[in-house]
């Protein structure tokens, strides 16, 4: 029997044209607001640019292969989050939201869901605490590992608890990417991601997507996108697809380096805490080992105070001070400069890039020495 093709190979070719088709491997971005479409709209494959675009279709095919479910591309991660909330939740419903999930999602829920009568239950990620808050809820919103504290929960266990109570499960998979973790395979109803981060990895675009295995949900999400207009530009989608074949190589390098950096940080007495699911001391390590292929590109750590964190960031020579994560260039920030997370003033979120491992570790080491 023939060996099944490796997933890395599938990703390299995902959504690209077949080898039997002449022309470029990946067609260029198609810029069109409208299409020549005589007579009945239904007789034309393409009509108007808010409804469909062949550049989106090729990218969504790639995402389908990565996620193991149908995908819809959106203008940003937040537009993707909004589409799930908007198609699922109605006044009177309750949503169980990870209390440590991406802060804009919590703010959006407080600003727009609570005022229309959706109950928002904030429950921590750690220890699968969300399971105890599911009764009577419509949706549970899970994020693992969380941004920026990198807490982990057991997706399959939450799915099991949610199923018996008729609760839908949505997983924000941004930090892991579908290369490292496939929530639909673990039974989730929706997977959501910001595609501005590691999946595209070049810090040059904002995009998001939702994937699901349910045809009705896909139709609702597409209708939501068409009617609310949260559509991505063809250029961004094409750049994203252009970046995808290197995902396995990029993440292989980045996750290896992240592990090495976490180990180096854990040895230092001047670093108060290191958060990385790959460390055996991490409370979610065993779960992460089971449900992830590797432990991700972010390492968070605590330098205790704002002045120490600022001196550290100023002393870096390769690593850039910038928000966001997952890109080929290493970057770090003092996360508490943005309000919204229960973290110390010295908390650093460090995104490990594709530079040589030793250069990243050396740069961090010399900057820590200066910040003593």
Ligand X SMILES: *Cc1c(COP(=O)(O)O)cnc(C)c1O
Quote the CA–CA distance of 76 and 105 in Å, as a whole number. Answer: 13
Residue of 254, 59, 292 whose CA lies nearest to 173: 292
Q: Is 289 helix (H, G, I), strand (E, B) or coil?
A: helix
327 phi-psi bin (left φ>0, alpha ψ -120 to 50, beta other): beta
Per rule CB under 6 A, is residue 78 in the interface with ligand X? yes
Pick between residue 264 and residue 336 the one whose CB is nearest to ligand X: 336
Per rule CB under 6 A, is residue 147 in the interface with ligand X? yes
Instruction: Round the CA-based radius of gyration of the chain to a whole number and report it.
Output: 21
Q: Among residue numbers 156 through 195, which ones bind ligand X (CB under 6 A)?
A: 172, 174-175, 194
Strand 347-351 vs strand 331-334: parallel, antiparallel, or unpaired?
antiparallel
Per rule CB under 6 A, is residue 201 in the interface with ligand X? no
Per rule CB under 6 A, is residue 239 in the interface with ligand X? no
Q: Pick from 201, 208, 277, 353 the residue near ligand X by CB under 6 A.
A: 208
Per rule CB under 6 A, is residue 102 in the interface with ligand X? yes
Size of site (CB under 6 A) for ligand X: 14
Smallest separation, CB 149 to ligand X (Å) = 11
Pick between residue 128 and residue 147 the one whose CB is nearest to ligand X: 147
Quote the CA–CA distance of 143 and 137 in Å, as a whole number. Answer: 17
Per rule CB under 6 A, is residue 346 in the interface with ligand X? no
Q: Pick from 53, 55, 73, 76 the residue near ligand X by CB under 6 A.
A: 76
Q: How far is CA 217 from CA 188, 207, 250, 305, in A?
A: 13, 20, 32, 46
Q: Which residues contact 87 (CB under 8 A, 6 or more apart)?
A: 217, 220, 221, 224
Pick between residue 111 and residue 358 the one whose CB is nearest to ligand X: 111
Q: Among residue numbers 293 through 332, which ones bind ligand X (CB under 6 A)?
A: none
> Where do contacts with ligand X occur on this chain (CB under 6 A)?
76-78, 102, 143, 147, 172, 174-175, 194, 196-197, 206, 208
């Amino acid at each position: 029997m023939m060996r099944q093709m490796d997933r890395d190979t599938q990703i390299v070719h995902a959504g690209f044209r077949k080898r039997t088709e002449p022309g470029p491997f990946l067609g260029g971005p198609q810029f069109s607001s409208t299409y020549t479409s005589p007579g009945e709209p239904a007789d034309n494959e393409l009509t108007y640019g808010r409804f469909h675009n062949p550049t989106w279709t090729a990218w969504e095919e790639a995402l389908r292969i990565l996620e193991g479910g149908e995908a819809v591309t959106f203008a940003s991660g937040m537009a993707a989050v909004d589409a799930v909330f908007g198609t699922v939740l109605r006044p009177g419903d309750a949503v169980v939201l990870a209390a440590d999930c991406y802060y804009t999602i919590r703010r959006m829920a407080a600003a727009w869901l609570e005022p229309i009568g959706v109950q928002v239950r904030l429950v921590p990620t750690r220890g699968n605490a969300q399971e105890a808050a599911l009764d009577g809820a419509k949706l549970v919103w899970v994020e693992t590992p969380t941004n920026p504290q990198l807490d982990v929960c057991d997706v399959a266990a939450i799915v099991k608890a949610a199923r018996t109570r008729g609760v839908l499960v949505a997983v924000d998979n941004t930090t892991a990417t579908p290369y490292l973790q496939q929530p639909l395979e673990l039974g989730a109803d929706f997977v959501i991601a910001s595609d501005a981060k590691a999946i595209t990895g070049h810090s040059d675009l904002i995009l998001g997507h939702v994937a699901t295995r349910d045809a009705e949900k896909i139709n609702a999400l597409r209708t939501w996108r068409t009617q609310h207009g949260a559509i991505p530009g063809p250029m961004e989608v094409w750049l994203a697809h252009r970046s995808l074949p290197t995902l396995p190589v990029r993440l292989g390098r980045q996750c290896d380096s992240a592990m090495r950096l976490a180990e180096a940080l854990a040895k230092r007495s001047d670093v108060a805490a290191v958060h990385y699911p790959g460390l055996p001391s991490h409370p979610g390590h065993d779960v992460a080992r089971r449900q992830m292929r590797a432990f991700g590109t972010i390492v968070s750590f605590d330098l205790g105070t704002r002045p120490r964190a600022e001196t550290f960031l100023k002393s870096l020579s390769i690593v850039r001070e910038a928000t966001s994560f997952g890109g080929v260039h290493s970057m770090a920030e003092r996360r508490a400069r943005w309000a919204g997370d229960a973290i110390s003033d010295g908390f650093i979120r460090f995104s490990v890039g594709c530079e040589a491992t030793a250069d990243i570790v050396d740069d961090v080491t010399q900057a820590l020495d200066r910040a003593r």
